[in-house]
Amino acid sequence: MDILTVKDKRFAVSIPEAEIKKHVSRVAAEITRDMDGKKPMFLPVLNGAFVFAADLLREIPIECEVSFIKLASYQGTNSTGQIREVIGLATDITGRHVVIVEDIIDSGLTMAHMIDTLRKHNPASISVCALLLKPDAMKVQVPVDYCCLRIPNDFIIGYGLDYDGLARNTRDIYTLVKE
Ligand code: IMP
Ligand code: MG
């Protein structure tokens, strides 16, 4: 199915499953090369990264651990608005090589905040692995060590990414059709 209707919006396939798979394999090989012997701790960010993380990690055949984290948004007490808090960091990452696994980096604000938070736990290193990157949307520069695909500044869904909680369960990635 090339067109998907979700609620009031229409989406068209923009990155087919085979294309995603090819780039996930490439990035998995890069991480395998860099992290072999370092027993990395992968931290996929829920909810969006669950599909990507499952595919990526099954292609990384080295000793590693996985622990999921989630971001909670709450209203700040001042006018800066939304502040996001990292929750569920259940594992001690002190001295560990951490690899954050994220679905998409848009403005970069979420990732910048996450890196700041994790750094306080004194890991040996922090690497960022993103399925998708929107270079034209970036407001803060964050180091992206591993990236599957760079995409234009459009709204996308599928393969873990949602529109209002829906459409995470597609094999392909879809882009919003501008009507
Ligand atoms: P950032 O803080 O602006 O980089 O936002 C990153 C987060 O926004 C991602 O982890 C996603 O959850 C969400 N997001 C950004 N762009 C999209 C999109 O095109 N589709 C679905 N979610 C998105
Ligand atoms: Mg996300």
> Is pTM, for the whole model, over 0.75?
yes
Q: Which of 36, 55, 106, 145 is catalytic?
A: 106
Instruction: Give me the pLDDT at residue 71, please.
Output: 82
Ligand 1 touching residue 108 (CB < 6 A)? yes
Instruction: Give me the pLDDT at residue 86, please.
Output: 76
Instruction: Report residue 137's pLDDT band, with 50, 70 and 90 as the boundaries.
Output: very high
- Our CA dihedral for 100, 104, 106, 109, rounded to 10 degrees, sits at -20
Known catalytic residue at 106: yes
Angle 21-26-28 from CA coordinates, rounded to 5°: 90
